[in-house]
Structure 1
């Protein structure tokens, strides 16, 4: 893994772009290249390149509304003697913090370090506090589980028409926004598993309902994955010692119904299923302490069913 600090991107990509933008704005306001050089702390030759459009930089900053507004504000302030270097620096530092919070700097950082994609990285903004680490760990686990599903031979045959999703919650979840899942769900196409996006919190109300019902009864159960109901898989579950729970599909409040079923059993089963109802496709939920654990159980079921 290559280690790239966001500050490196600020120096290499952000500053040249902003200096170029400022030089152009100040030139438009009548400042000479020598005066612009003094304001920006660069050479007159550098200003000449900036104004001539030879500075390079990154268009993501040039097109970012916050950057454009800040540069215009600084240029007006410097040209009108209403702002000094200290004020301009304060404006730029505030802008950098904004752009690091899921903005262009964050985007560039994820390009430089692909390992950060899909992890909900907030290091620049909040630091690695326990809450951020928990969120990152959940997102990483869901992403790994989705990839695990995609690698299971024959898995495409068990993706329901409505799609499959992988859900995992934070400790002590309050609602569906504390459950991470795949936006748009996982679907099968041409015998292959397609994962449309990296996981996000609040991305699926459907699978979050099952996760929240399960963790309300057993705080060690944090994940659920929905797949198609199939008798061979249910038989495979019984063959490896799992007693699936059947529940009714036609309930307006699925979460309360599931929670009641789990409480009546006295535990959250590893597998719960229904056989559908009018307008409701049959579905099976596979539960686990983590999303990866639930995905691995699905792999075991498919392997057992194929024997």
Structure 2
């Protein structure tokens, strides 16, 4: 009887571990360090690195490659093992909603694809809160992020795949602020931010794959760092606009192009800000991290 746990252990995890091992090894991690993170032996890591693992079908491999990159990034960022385990579990469960995964599992276990889709009762809402919560903790821990929080404070948002209203967007209640010089935020909630949620919804109307955003301060140093980091940036001016019009103006550039960041030049009574976008909060996190690295390099 080949239940999903057997399928994951036999078919998915060996390839996923091998991909994570290769990524971390290329980043300078030793085999012993990789073994510790993966909870396995150094000899097994050596096997992973030598290519002695069966590859899954191409479409499944592509999904696992993306997951491996995200896991490796969490390891690099110093995430706790508990967070990485939770993230990986959530992602593997979500893969069972993918048609390619279910078709492969149905052939492996000789069951119907309809049965596959019924296995896990997790909801998209739980997944969004879990992923945003993990990314938020990593964002707050980034050395230098506190210096990017604007006077109006920052927010970090992540929308459901088919988000239609602000209640479909999770964000930080009360925004991200500084407490005794350190970034602080409450756990994400749905419907916690009208403006940030509205902006993300407007962007999603034009680019449904863009589901996450964070706002940071603007400055000449930040603009130069965005350019140096290779980000695709567009400038907008919302000073004097009503909130609804400002949201639409910030989202309008996405009609023709996909941007990593939008600079709002602000205006009278409106603080200039930078909005950094991505498909997931982890993609946004990586962009902020890269920006901080460039800023730190310019200072040294």
The TM-score, its normalising length taken from structure 2, stands at 0.56
- Unpaired runs of 5+ residues, structure 2, are 1-85, 91-117
**Which residue of structure 2 lines up, in the alignment, with residue 207 of structure 1?**
196
**Which residue of structure 2 lines up, in the alignment, with residue 221 of structure 1?**
210
Greater Rg over alpha carbons, structure: 1
CA distance in 2, matches of 1:233, 1:131: 43
How is 1:153-168 mapped onto 2 (pairs within 5 angstroms)?
Answer: 153-168=143-158
State whether structure 2 residue 237 is matched by structure 1 residue 245. Answer: no
How is 1:176-187 mapped onto 2 (pairs within 5 angstroms)?
Answer: 176-187=166-177
CA distance in 2, matches of 1:256, 1:136: 29
Report how far residue 262 of structure 1 moved.
1.9
Equivalent residue pairs, number: 179
The TM-score, its normalising length taken from structure 1, stands at 0.55
2:229–2:290 Cα contact (<8 Å) kept:
no
2:250–2:264 Cα contact (<8 Å) kept:
no
CA distance in 1, matches of 2:270, 2:201: 21
* Distance verdict in 2 for CA 1:130–1:259, change over 3 Å: farther
CA distance in 1, matches of 2:282, 2:291: 14
CA RMSD of aligned residues (A): 2.1
CA distance in 2, matches of 1:158, 1:199: 20
1:275–1:282 Cα contact (<8 Å) kept:
yes
CA distance in 2, matches of 1:175, 1:130: 26
**Which residue of structure 1 lines up, in the alignment, with residue 130 of structure 2?**
140
**Which residue of structure 2 lines up, in the alignment, with residue 297 of structure 1?**
287
Match of 2:231, SS state, is: coil
CA distance in 1, matches of 2:266, 2:247: 16
2:195–2:247 Cα contact (<8 Å) kept:
no
CA distance in 1, matches of 2:259, 2:161: 19
CA distance in 2, matches of 1:240, 1:161: 24
